[in-house]
Amino acid sequence: MRENHVLAGRYQLLEKIGSGGMADVFHAHDLVLKRDVAIKILKNQFTDDAQFVNRFRQEAQAAARLNHPHIVAIYDVGQQDGCYYIVMEYVAGETLKDMISRRRSLPVAEALEITLQIAQALHFAHQNGLVHCDIKPANILIDRYGRVRVADFGIARAVSSATMAHTSSIVGSVHYLSPEQARGSLVDARSDIYSLGVALYEMLSGKLPFTGDSAVAIAVKHLQEEPRPLADHVHLPQFVEAIVDRALTKDVIYRYQSVEQLTADAEKALQLLRQGKTAVGAEELPTQFISGVRHNTMVIDRRQFKSQKTAAAGVEQNGDGRRGRFRWLILAGLLLLLLAGFGTGMYLVYGNFWSARDVVVPDVVGKDATTAIAMLQSEKLNASISEQVNDKVKPGFVISQDPPAGSRVKEQRRITLYISKGAEATYVPDLRGLGKDEAVNMLTQAGLLLGRVSERESAGDKPGTVIDQSLRANSQTTKGTTVDIVISAASRMSVPDLRGLTVGDARQKLEGMKLKLGNVDEVPADSYPVGTVVTQKPLAGGEIPVGGTVDVAIARQAQPTVSRQTVVVVDVPAGGTARQTVQIVLTDNDGRRVVYDEVHKPGDHIEKTVQTAGTGKIQVFINGTLVQTQQI
């Protein structure tokens, strides 16, 4: 594809803004909806693989359903003459990769804030059953206001089966590949967490955890080697380094199990940094239970983390493995006996084994659901979610809670969170063929708003009627959404050149083209015969709707210019201020000009001879006030 090419009769390609192993990305303009978009066009070597193309379509369509403020919106998916493309939201800004290259590394707080925005996008995608599989700074867009958008949802998954046949296509992503992806195993949400950990490592240090001479060499390092400690590159609080360490754990069992867990730790770390803390005790930090193994993710360093993982797996690093497993069996048996005895009864009484501690319910109203749940969990409380329609609170945020904030309850109490589903759902009416007023009425009845109105010529459609709309008819949306419409414009034609024609001839020529003659004025003109057209509006060659009107100006008989001298007499009034500014202004056939401008005393007598051309007038101003007018 080349620049200025119009794809599918609608998208004009303006410039190439990116190129990867599988696709080129263009900045384009949607000629129908009059907006800038980004278009990813699949490269030719992939278009002949029917299985790949089918998965590409399915995944792209799945990604198009992801409507989230931190995910690049997908507007359209299609193909033309074997060219497969995805039309996406155009984000003016730069990629995270460009930002890191430009600044080398990012401050800790900024890196964590970017990570949290990416995590929000991933959480939403994971909830909708979609794993990104290609999280990397080049796929993270940051607009001019610092807001993050995650791009390329869907295509990475579609590509995964074809990349082994095109080794070069994975080079750009292999630095961020999870061990299970490198191994060819099944992937899940935890694979995205590993890739996000690599991106965070790079944001903080400006370095990649693994490099090599080839994609295979780097993939092997993901499988077998530990990354170089962040402390070797940059001085960080230990609890920040621990977040990266856990995200980069090779064994998925000991990695963060969900982005919510990573989010909770990152938010806690941000909170500590804003308080000016760089080292804290374990009692101030969240504790999580993963696969039955207790990890304080914020304080353990890499060596402690490895030893805990090894011990939790029932393997001793020094000594006989069988002896270690036998010891764990004995401990497990004793624990079962305790639970079978009095422990079970105490659990039934208190709901949290033998603990009956009271806690204060935190205020989570107005928080997003992920943050709210993390806040409850930090107080050892559980959450129950109930969704409600609400047009005042953003979708995914807490409307209210029960029990309310400040209540004292027992640990493990279930707190009901009422989460906003956004505005009430409605269906988009079919506006095609309606006039603008009728379309507005239909939108109002559906609880929708009229957005941008544009025009486009359309043969066979009645001028002034709707021929296209931004939201598909009968599709579901929320009330209060705006709908852009395109209205059929009247056919237009080129304006003829009427200069030199008489009024009668000009009228006849216009009527023959289904146009009308409008106002006729007269102007002085020496280069055109009297009574012929000198100028016109619109100008010749411009466009005008069929049946439109053209105004003209014709040459009039030139009047001979009479030159004469006129004496102007001015008496400055007595009793005024000491300085009286006197101006004489002449307006005649040569235009308007000041012919006298002097300062006088009260009572002065002035006589000024003025050379005039044709007819006009002479005006006298004293201190800016008009005092006399003389016709010539």
Q: What is the DSSP string of 194-237?
A: HHHHHHHHHHHHSS-S---SSHHHHHHHHHH-PPPPGGGTS---
For the record, the structure tokens of 83 come out as 């060219």
Question: Using H for helix, E for strand and C for coil, what is the string for 166-180?
Answer: CHHHHHHHHCCCCHH
For the chain, how long is the longest CA-to-CA vector? 128
Report the C-alpha gap between 612 and 144 in whole angstroms.
Answer: 63
Report the C-alpha gap between 302 and 309 in whole angstroms.
Answer: 10
For the record, the structure tokens of 221 come out as 């390092």
Residues in the chain: 632
Report the C-alpha gap between 283 and 303 in whole angstroms.
Answer: 21
Identify the bridge partners of residue 521 per DSSP, sorted by sequence position. Answer: 553
User: Of 407, 471, 464, which is closest to residue 435 (Cα–Cα)?
Assistant: 464
Report the C-alpha gap between 565 and 402 in whole angstroms.
Answer: 97
Helix axes 96-103, 189-205, angle to 10 degrees: 20
5-9 — which CB contacts under 8 Å span 24+ positions?
6/31, 7/39, 7/41, 7/80, 7/83, 7/85, 8/78, 8/80, 8/85
- Selecting among 134, 192, 265, 588, the annotated active-site residue is 134
Report the C-alpha gap between 103 and 277 in whole angstroms.
Answer: 25
Report the C-alpha gap between 516 and 552 in whole angstroms.
Answer: 11
Question: Using H for helix, E for strand and C for coil, what is the string for 419-473?
Answer: EECCCCEEECCCCCCCEHHHHHHHHHHCCCEEEEEEEEECCCCCCCEEEEECCCC
Q: What is the DSSP string of 238-289?
A: HHHHHHHHHHT-SSTTTS-SSHHHHHHHHHHHHHHHHTT-S---GGGS--EE
Report the C-alpha gap between 501 and 13 in whole angstroms.
Answer: 44
Cβ neighbours around 195 below 10 Å, total: 26
For the record, the structure tokens of 611 come out as 């050379």
The reply to whether 497 belongs to the active site is no
Hunting for tokens 């009430």 — which residue is that?
Answer: 424
Report the C-alpha gap between 592 and 583 in whole angstroms.
Answer: 13
47-52 — which CB contacts under 8 Å span 24+ positions?
47/82, 47/83, 47/84, 49/162, 51/161, 52/158, 52/159, 52/161, 52/162
User: Of 621, 580, 622, 620, which is closest to residue 601 (Cα–Cα)?
Assistant: 580
Catalytic positions, written as ranges:
134
